[in-house]
Structure formats: structure tokens, C-alpha cells
């Protein structure tokens, strides 16, 4: 499995042609306490950069963008009942949605872990 990152602080784990998407530890720390999450519905088509989900905290509401194009195959239903999962484990159990990749070449424009850590260190 490979993990990539966006400049908008989403992470994406890729396993074959399936990807899991969430927000990074950095994004979660900037938002503060998460109070509401809206995940996309199964079957939704998203293009790279589209608004795919919504996360609201005590500080702000933010869109979660699709790091790549694809078709949503699952939203993390656990977040409806427990949005704090995003605070507790943003890069694990607090994932937002899974999708089937439409174009694997889109992964080439994303950052690997070391490039993302370097990017965040300059913010």
C-alpha cells in the first residue's frame, strides 16, 4: 500500500485500484475539535480537486477534496455517530471515504511522506 498527500492536507492510501482518503494530523490539529462530518454517498463520481466531504469543527467548516478522480465505494459511516474519530485517529480510523481510482497517473502529482513533512514544516 502506498500513501500520498495533497497540499490541502488530505492523505490517500492506495491499494491496487482502491483508495482510502482522510485528512492529515496537521489538518486535524488546525481544525481543533471535530463536531460534524459529512461523507460522500456511495456511487458519487468525483474529479480530482472536487469537494467530496465536509468537516466541521468548533473553529471552522472545511471541505475535504478528492485527491484523485474516481467513484466513491464507501463513506465512513462511523463518523456520523462519532466525528471525534477524526481527532483521535485522523490518519487511521478517522478516514472519510474510499473510492475506485479512475486514473492512476493522477497520483504522480501528489506528495510522498517526506515531501509532505517538508511542505508542512514551511507553513
Distance, CA of 47 to CA of 78 (rounded, Å): 24
Mean of per-residue pLDDT scores for the chain: 97
Q: Which residues pair with residue 36 across a beta bridge?
A: 56
Question: What was the pLDDT predicted at 65?
Answer: 97
Transcribe 79-113 into DSSP letters.
HHH-TTHHHH-TTTTT--EEEEES-GGGGGGSB-H
State the DSSP H helix or E strand holding residue 72, giving kind and residue range, or none if neither.
Answer: strand 70-75
pLDDT band at 26 (very low <50, low <70, confident <90, very high): very high
How confident is the model over 63-118, as pLDDT tens digits? 999 999 999 999 999 999 999 999 999 999 999 999 999 999 999 999 999 999 99
Which domains does the chain show, CATH number per domain? 2-103+112-121 (2.40.50.100)
The answer to whether 101 and 17 are in contact (CB under 8 A) is yes
Question: What was the pLDDT predicted at 1?
Answer: 84
Amino acid at each position: 500500500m502506498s500513501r500520498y498527500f495533497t497540499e490541502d492536507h488530505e492523505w490517500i492510501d492506495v491499494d491496487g485500484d482502491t483508495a482510502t482518503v482522510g485528512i492529515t494530523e496537521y489538518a486535524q490539529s488546525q481544525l481543533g475539535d471535530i463536531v460534524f462530518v459529512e461523507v460522500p454517498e456511495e456511487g458519487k463520481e468525483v474529479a480530482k480537486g472536487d469537494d467530496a466531504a465536509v468537516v466541521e469543527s468548533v473553529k471552522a467548516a472545511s471541505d475535504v477534496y478528492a485527491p484523485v478522480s474516481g467513484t466513491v465505494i464507501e463513506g465512513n459511516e462511523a463518523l456520523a455517530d462519532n466525528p471525534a474519530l477524526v481527532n483521535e485517529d485522523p490518519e487511521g480510523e478517522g478516514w472519510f471515504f474510499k473510492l475506485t481510482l479512475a486514473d492512476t497517473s493522477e497520483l504522480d502529482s501528489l506528495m510522498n511522506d517526506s515531501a509532505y513533512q517538508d511542505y508542512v514544516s514551511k507553513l
